[in-house]
Amino acid sequence: MSSHAFYFEGGETLAKMGASWFVSYAYYWYVDKTSKHWEKVSTTATRKSRFIYSTEYHSLWLRQVLQMNDNNLNKNTIGLTAKQVKEMARATLQVLESDQ
């Protein structure tokens, strides 16, 4: 997991989850219940708890992920490429914004 904080609202919490993990779980939560890349880490319980208690940041974080460096996003341990992470972030953001 990341040891640095992101410099935007709620960034410390996102850093503890991992940006790619967050996107993967958000995609599962909001878009497609069959997408389970997020299960590939042993700390899912802790991360899921952080996810549930941070819903006010989800749209912001998804927009921030779209601006992140692909090389950093590619370093995830859940088997997703930066391109996949960003595609999932876009799809999830569309769902969240259509619900508002």
Tell me: the pLDDT tens digits for 10-29?
Answer: 999 999 999 999 999 999 99
Q: What local confidence, expressed as pLDDT, does residue 76 receive?
A: 94
Q: Is residue 18 part of a domain?
A: yes
Query: Which stretches in the chain have pLDDT values below 50?
Result: 1-2
- 5 assigned to some structural domain: no
Q: pTM for this structure?
A: 0.93
Q: Is residue 72 part of a domain?
A: yes
- Range of the structural domain that residue 27 is part of: 11-98
Q: Is 18 left (phi over 0), alpha (psi -120 to 50) or beta?
A: left
Residue 53 lies in a domain: yes
The total domain count for the chain is 1
